[in-house]
Amino acid sequence: MGFDGMYGVAPELLLGVGFLLIVSGATLFGLLLTRPARRLGDISYGIYLLQGPVLLLAFSFPALRVASAASPAVHWSLAAIAAAALTAFATLTHSLVERPGIQAGRWASARINSALRGRVAVSEQSVRVDPEQPQPQSF
């Protein structure tokens, strides 16, 4: 079983086994329970959304693009700087946009649910069934 490329059978099986282990609750010897891992999980949606614009900006300058194409060291250095900037930007947007939005959604949901519960309670009280009257059958 060799690695003929990244789309070969062996890499896909290894990725599948790793995915299965994590989904099944493996913590990778406690690594996934650490505070930084949990924080990375909190900002992961922001990283997903912001990676395109950040990488586009990082590689849009012609001088950086040429240097990146000429040297693997420059390319990976630029990628590491972009990853650090992306993490900082995602943390900032999580704190200033995502978390307040989640709290506002919970508040609005609680208000709507309490209003609906009050309306349902009123409508249930106003419906009185006379046991002596024949009731329509529903099938």
Domain ranges of the chain: 35-125
pTM above 0.75, yes or no: no
**Residue 3: strand, helix, or coil:** coil
d(CA 134, CA 48): 61
pLDDT at 128 over 80: no
CA gap 64, 69 in Å, rounded: 8
The pLDDT tens digits for 13-22 are 988 998 998 8
Residue 136 pLDDT more than 70? no
Alpha carbon distance 24, 30 (integer Å): 14
pLDDT of 39 reads 94
Burial (CB count within 10 angstroms: exposed 0-12, middle 13-18, buried 19+), residue 46: buried
- Is the CB of residue 82 less than 8 Å from the CB of residue 56? no
Q: How deeply is 82 buried, as exposed, middle or buried, from its count of CB atoms within 10 A (0-12, 13-18, 19+)?
A: middle
Torsion of CA 62, 68, 69, 72, to 10 degrees: 180
Whether 92 shows a pLDDT value over 60: the answer reads yes
pLDDT tens digits along 49-78: 999 999 999 888 898 889 888 989 999 999
Alpha-carbon span 116 to 82, nearest angstrom = 47
Whether the predicted pLDDT of 99 surpasses 60: yes
Q: What number is the average pLDDT over the span 97-118?
A: 90
Structure tokens at 16: 């599948």
- 102 pLDDT band (50/70/90 cuts)? very high
> Higher model confidence: residue 86 or residue 22?
86
